[in-house]
Structure 1
Amino acid sequence: GNFRVLGLHQIPRGVEIAGAVLVRKPSGYYLHVTCYLAKGDSPEPIAGQPRRGYLEAVGLDFGIGSKLTLSNGIKIDFEVHETPRLKRLQRKLARAKRGSKRRGKIRFLLRREYEKLNNRRKDAENKVLAFLKLYGKVVFQDDLLASWARLFGRQVHSSRIGGLKLRLRNSLKAPIPVGRFEPTTKECYACGKRHELPLSQRIITCSCGWECDRDVNAALVILRKGLGLSPDQALGLDRPEVTPLEKEAAARILGSNPSIRVSFLQ
């Protein structure tokens, strides 16, 4: 029979629907739609969405304190923790008798709570990705996140840095990855000299006169390397600054999610 489907406005105009799968989740039924688009074509923009790629190239530095630092000085922190309700349900499940109706009910409630948690994390990830799509070129370092997880554990998991990096490669129009072994956090953006910096030192000061926030310097080095510029070629360039367009876009796209915090380095 027929049934009502909400959210069809999310399907881009001008694409061909190739198939659909009905999926059952703890919160209800959902329709996963697959669309066909010829390679090289772009779907018509959905009304109200900003145009992709109208800003300049940007470099990204991923971290733990500030999850994402842009070469223009924008810092984005996003982390969605487990809720107190989820932890209570986990404790109740551990105490419930196996095979009882109460245990089955708790497991159902726990699945719903996990679904809500994953939805919040995906929403934060989607918002950050939507903001980055405004840049014509995005340069980032292809770090090995397994080593991060061993050092920082839950902080890496709750921020979904790995999922965001994977989607950067697959979703952006012009992603430019930089080799994971490039010493971007130790190198001076202006002259290329390498410094040994402890994690507690947040400002890099070089003998050439360059002084900058450590994360912003790393993002600038990543941008320079991704664009194939030497320190001498980058020396004459003005240091990127946050434009009014970027501030407006950050407030509009990222400000709608309470799990995302944005700051602008002056």
Structure 2
Amino acid sequence: MAHRKVTYRLYPTPRQIEALERQRWVHCLLWNTALDERRRAWQEDRVSLSFSDQCKALTGWRAQSSLLRSVNAQSEQVTLKRLGLAFQHFFRRVKRGETPGFPRFKPLHRFKGWGYKTHGDGWRLLSGPGMKHGKLRLSGVGEMRIRGKARTVGEPKTCEIMHRRGKWYASVTVECEPERQGGKRIGGLDWGLETFATIASSEGVERIENPRHLQSSLEQIRTVQKRISRKEEAAKQASGKLKGFPISKRLRKEYALLGRLHEKVANQRRDFLHQTSARLIATFAVLGLEALNIRRMTAKGGSYKRGLNRSILDAAGGMLHQMLGYKAEEAGALAMEADPRRLKPSQRCHRCGRLEKKPLSQRWHDCPCGASCSRDENAARVLMAWVMEQIGGREPAEAWREVRPASPLGEPALP
């Protein structure tokens, strides 16, 4: 059984919106109170409070506060659990010598929502056939109309209520057995910026152009950001405050417009990646990829590399590999990542295996053996050859039988 998330758009009534906003405010207050309690316990007594300690304290807090009693107890435990995870990640980063990022107090506009642990305790999904549309019942709010559809029907487990740019959403975790139709070909994929993806297979080379979603909206985003900067500077001068200055209605509208522009770009990017990854998995049984470290690729460079870093993040290679990974698992296919420090697909010749260091500006591969093609095509062909070596020249179904030996010999191996 696997877990998949389904996001539904909520359509609450004005009275239900008030109830949702009130619950969000209570959870935000609980987060800040629990964070203050952890800081105080360490500063005064050198005691590090844990999630279980604060869950025990929550029982006493609820007995004294009618405000906390008005909200589902399990959802409040989820908020405390999120705070506990924030501290765990903080300590992990400290041990690794990374930027710590100590958990901070959150104003209401930065608090995105809350969650529920168990279906039936504080929330219940009343969806239609195929988990399409329907209603969502929340404790203290009532039943709300929802729109959305699950790709694979399953059993609802947990729920997160989210508020984004004036709209309400419910992200439901579903326990299911996802299935997807896989392909039969073997290939290698090289991700890039000039061309989004170059795919090499025995049938030839295919290229997917980079849609550059951010680039098409960048000028409009910059215009809005300039207006925001001017309005913020005027508000600072009028109030004499660098922080906490009053925000006018016009400035709030500019913030909302900027958020909608970024949301549009994110939706376009996500839709493109879903369609592309689904098509690739429907075509290939085994696909070789080059392992990416996006954080390292965009870590340095300063202002002169700003445009390149923006393009790398806009192309979202890490998200593409993540989607290919779990969709390949659903289809019983393989999405295999090669270590670029060992394989060096951009420097190795796909025909003779000769290594030659190339600068990033060199976009064409020429080898004394006679191989001549684009740099991306060469890398894709090297990855395809690596995949063939990994599966030992056998059919993907035969390679799968070593992992799934119960598959009959006369039938294709199943995931």
TM-score (norm 1): 0.73
Structure 1 pair 5/94, CA: closer, same or farther in 2 (3 Å)? same
Normalized per residue, which structure has more helix?
Answer: 2
Letter in 2 for 1:141: E
Post-superposition offset of 1:36: 0.4
Letter in 1 for 2:148: G
Post-superposition offset of 1:229: 6.1
Contact 1:60 1:138 in 2 (8 A): yes
1:26-45 superposed Cα distances (whole Å, 9 cap, x missing partner): 152222121102xxx434xx
Alignment of 1:76-225 (within 5 A): 76=208, 77-81=210-214, 83=217, 84-96=219-231, 97=235, 98-99=245-246, 100-134=248-282, 135-149=284-298, 150=300, 152-173=308-329, 174-181=334-341, 182-225=343-386
Identify the match of residue 19 of structure 1 among 129, 134, 158: 158
Task: Return 5+ residue gaps in structure 2 as ranges.
Answer: 1-141, 236-244, 394-415
Please give the alpha-carbon distance, in whole angstroms, between the structure 1 residues aligned to 2:316 and 2:346: 21
Please give the alpha-carbon distance, in whole angstroms, between the structure 2 residues aligned to 1:58 and 1:27: 44
Give the match's secondary structure for 2:288. Answer: strand
Contact 1:144 1:180 in 2 (8 A): no
RMSD: 2.5
1:201-235 superposed Cα distances (whole Å, 9 cap, x missing partner): 443233333333321121111121133269xx99x
Task: Return 5+ residue gaps in structure 1 as ranges.
Answer: 44-50, 235-266
Contact 1:52 1:136 in 2 (8 A): no
Identify the match of residue 3 of structure 1 among 144, 157, 177: 144
Give the match's secondary structure for 1:204. Answer: strand
Structure 1 pair 197/86, CA: closer, same or farther in 2 (3 Å)? closer
Please give the alpha-carbon distance, in whole angstroms, between the structure 2 residues aligned to 1:198 and 1:108: 43
Letter in 2 for 1:178: A
Alignment of 1:224-263 (within 5 A): 224-228=385-389
Please give the alpha-carbon distance, in whole angstroms, between the structure 2 residues aligned to 1:170 and 1:25: 27
Give the match's secondary structure for 1:69. Answer: strand
Please give the alpha-carbon distance, in whole angstroms, between the structure 2 residues aligned to 1:158 and 1:28: 25
Matched, 1:32 2:171: yes
Contact 2:292 2:318 in 1 (8 A): no
TM-score (norm 2): 0.48
Contact 2:278 2:327 in 1 (8 A): no
Quick one: percent identity of the two aligned structures?
Answer: 24
1:65-91 superposed Cα distances (whole Å, 9 cap, x missing partner): 112111141111232115233222211
Give the match's secondary structure for 1:136. Answer: strand
**Which has the higher relative contact order, 1 or 2, with Cα contacts under 8 A spaced 6 or more apart?**
1
Structure 1 pair 27/138, CA: closer, same or farther in 2 (3 Å)? farther
Please give the alpha-carbon distance, in whole angstroms, between the structure 2 residues aligned to 1:36 and 1:158: 31
Contact 2:182 2:328 in 1 (8 A): no
Contact 2:292 2:317 in 1 (8 A): no
Letter in 1 for 2:161: L
Give the match's secondary structure for 1:24. Answer: strand
Post-superposition offset of 1:180: 2.2
Letter in 1 for 2:167: G
Post-superposition offset of 1:61: 0.9
Contact 2:274 2:323 in 1 (8 A): no
Give the match's secondary structure for 1:143. Answer: coil
Letter in 2 for 1:2: E
Matched, 1:64 2:193: yes
1:53-112 superposed Cα distances (whole Å, 9 cap, x missing partner): 123122111222112111141111232115233222211111112412222222222222
